[in-house]
Copies of this chain bind each other. A is one copy, B any other.
């Protein structure tokens, strides 16, 4: 792409560094910003800089926070004795959006993946074990991605914490609601057979 302005080219290149944004989309975004008022573009930049420089991570659960403790950990209305273990902040947002969970979280920061050079030490696992030692906990819910890496991580952590007197569960994995059996992959279908649950325990809707 040929630009007649260096400023324009720089801005397009910066946007094109973002995931899923190619040069053409970057140009569209930049030309959109060019049409906005100076005030709103300056505001846009400030919000981004502020995000990166001022954001903190919760000392307890490693979720994003505006202070030392995130708003979920600080909320006394939530069950502080139920911990949902997730891979990333995005998963916290996804679960919060369901409005079906009222406990607290622990963000691992990824899953064990030797191929990508991610071992247990790169994740917030030690701090999780420490948390079980110091906090009264009733239940741990694993909500990791249904991948080999996710399963490995559950297996690893479960071995580390088996001495604690706590209920350990994982979110249900199976055929997605609205999905069709014939299009499900064999692994999903096979596991959903193995992990079948009594109909009287099945919660169809709340």
Q: Whole-angstrom distance from the CB of A73 to the nearest CB of chain B?
A: 9
Bound Cα distance A93, B26 (Å): 13
Which of A52-60, A111-119, A137-145 contacts the other chain? Answer: A52-60
Could you mark each residue 50-84 of chain A with 1 if its beta carbon is under 8 Å from any beta carbon of chain B, else 0?
Answer: 11111100100001111000111000000000000
Chain A interface residues toward B at CB < 8 A? 1-8, 10-11, 14, 17-21, 25, 27-34, 36, 38, 41-55, 58, 63-66, 70-72, 88-90, 92-93, 96-97, 99
Q: CB distance A10 to B96 under 8 Å?
A: no
What distance in Å separates the Cβ of A85 from its nearest Cβ neighbour in chain B? 16
Q: Which residues of B contact A30 (CB under 8 A)?
A: 51
Copies in the complex: 2
Which residue in chain B gives the minimum CB-CB distance to A30?
Answer: B51
- For A70, the chain B residues whose CB sits under 8 A away are 4-5
User: Which of B8, B14, B72 interacts with A55 by CB under 8 Å?
Assistant: B8
Q: Are A72 and B4 in contact (CB under 8 A)?
A: yes
Enumerate chain B residues within 8 angstroms of A47, measured Cβ to Cβ. 7, 10-11, 14
| A48 and B52 form a contact (CB under 8 A) | no
21 sample A-B contacts, Cβ–Cβ < 8 Å, listed by A number: A2-B96, A3-B93, A4-B63, A4-B70, A5-B64, A5-B70, A8-B51, A11-B50, A11-B51, A14-B44, A14-B47, A19-B32, A31-B88, A33-B52, A34-B52, A34-B55, A34-B64, A34-B89, A36-B52, A41-B49, A41-B53
